[in-house]
């Protein structure tokens, strides 16, 4: 029996995933430990008037996509279906997603495909650096899929990308948004010490109570420890984290996580509304109001965060250059 016929007959949740195969939507969700019932159209919460995003099909968006494809690069803007893609691409900014577009994790809030990733592309650091230089960028964010298949979680590849970007663009400011390196904190941080970024970002994503549901394979305390340990090693580099709201958390639980962040010396915070990518992802439990986002911003400022970006359309990398400016100038 051929592999293609076998793949059609065996349920996707049971059959082995082929190297380089990317699962999305229902196929990805079928492999998640928790059961997610697809959302019927009648069950969708109606988006409020404050949830609006710019059209993504402009000429500049298409031009930048062509540049990225030519250099075999991916952006989290595209892979995660970010609502701000049109605005950010139009202004000539993007968040580069390294190590491919296939994630080893199966988080049910995320639209990035899951599967068995291809081997790392050794030319990716140079290709990314060349693209950054050609675009004339002053501030870049480098993020990645989770690569639990790699012993260092991809830390060495992050370092190589930072080194190449700085070699071709010496005055560039670099923020990295990292995975948790599968808990191998010491190993990852020893490698990143060879080429530390200007801003270190790792998202907690949600409150501890919802981790099993939203972040299978991740650990709340490990994520906090990663951020704290980086700060201890690099006290002059701002640390940053973010939460998505609307999965069923309470405002009190969000504020408790914000307090945990401050106890672990996290300085910058992003808070945004979770938007369900498809019927097969976690449903939105509620839309947090702009007034609540403003209240959380003021609470964060009182707690001592150097910058709090809080609003329905805020994402971790949205206006990242502006978010970092006050922290970097305050050194």
Convert the pLDDT of each residue in 49-104 to its tens digit.
888 765 555 676 677 677 777 777 777 666 666 666 666 666 656 688 899 888 89
Q: Residue 39 gets which letter from DSSP?
A: P
* Residues in the chain, total: 331
The answer, yes or no, to whether residue 1 has pLDDT greater than 50, is no
Q: How far is residue 157 from each of residues 44, 96, 162, 266, 324, measured CA to CA in Å?
A: 40, 13, 9, 24, 23
Does residue 99 come out as left (phi exceeding 0), alpha (psi in the -120 to 50 range) or beta?
left
Q: What is the mean pLDDT of residues 190-211?
A: 97
Residue 108 clears pLDDT 60, i.e. is over it: yes
pLDDT at 183: 82
Report pTM.
0.84
Query: What pLDDT score does 72 carry?
Result: 75
The Cα-based distances of 37 to 30, 32, 42, 279 in angstroms read: 10, 12, 14, 9
Average pLDDT of the residues in 30-54: 69
β-strand pairing of 95-98 with 139-144: parallel
Q: What is the mean pLDDT of residues 155-184?
A: 95
Contact in structure between 18 and 116 (CB atoms under 8 Å): yes
Phi, psi of 75 (to 5 degrees): -125, 145
pLDDT at 248 over 70: yes
Q: Within a 10 A sphere around the Cβ of 16, how many other Cβ atoms?
A: 11
Element (H, E) at 188: helix 185-192
> Residue 212 to residues 115, 209, 261: CA-CA distances in angstroms?
20, 8, 20
Average pLDDT over all residues of the chain: 84
Confidence at residue 4, expressed as pLDDT on a 0 to 100 scale: 46
**23 or 277, higher pLDDT:** 277
């Amino acid at each position: 029996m051929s592999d293609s016929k076998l793949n059609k007959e065996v349920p996707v949740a049971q059959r082995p995933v082929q190297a380089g195969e990317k699962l999305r939507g229902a196929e990805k969700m079928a492999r998640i430990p928790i059961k997610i019932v697809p959302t019927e159209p009648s069950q969708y919460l109606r988006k409020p008037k404050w949830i609006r995003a710019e059209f993504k099909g402009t000429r500049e968006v298409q031009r930048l996509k062509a540049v990225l494809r030519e250099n075999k690069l991916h952006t989290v803007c595209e892979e995660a279906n970010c609502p701000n893609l049109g605005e950010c691409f139009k202004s000539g900014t993007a968040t580069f997603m390294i190590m491919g577009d296939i994630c080893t994790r199966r988080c049910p809030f995320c639209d990035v495909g899951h599967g068995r990733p291809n081997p790392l592309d050794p030319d990716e650091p140079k290709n990314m650096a060349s693209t950054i230089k050609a675009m004339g960028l002053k501030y870049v964010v480098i993020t990645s899929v989770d690569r639990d298949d790699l012993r260092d979680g991809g830390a060495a590849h992050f370092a190589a990308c930072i080194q190449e970007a700085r070699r071709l663009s010496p005055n560039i400011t670099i923020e990295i948004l990292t995975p948790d390196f599968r808990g191998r904190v010491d190993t990852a941080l020893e490698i990143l010490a060879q080429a530390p970024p200007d801003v270190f970002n790792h998202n907690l994503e949600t409150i501890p109570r919802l981790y099993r549901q939203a972040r299978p394979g991740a650990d709340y305390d490990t994520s906090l420890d990663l951020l704290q340990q980086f700060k201890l090693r690099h006290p002059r580099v701002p640390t940053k984290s973010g939460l998505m709201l609307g999965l069923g958390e309470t405002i009190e639980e969000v504020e408790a996580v914000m307090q945990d962040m401050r106890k672990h010396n996290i300085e910058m915070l992003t808070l945004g509304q979770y938007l369900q990518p498809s019927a097969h992802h976690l449903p939105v439990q509620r839309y947090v109001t702009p007034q609540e986002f403003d209240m959380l911003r003021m609470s964060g400022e009182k707690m001592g965060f150097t910058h709090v970006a809080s609003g329905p359309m805020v994402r971790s990398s949205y206006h990242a250059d502006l978010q970092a400016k006050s922290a970097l100038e305050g050194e």
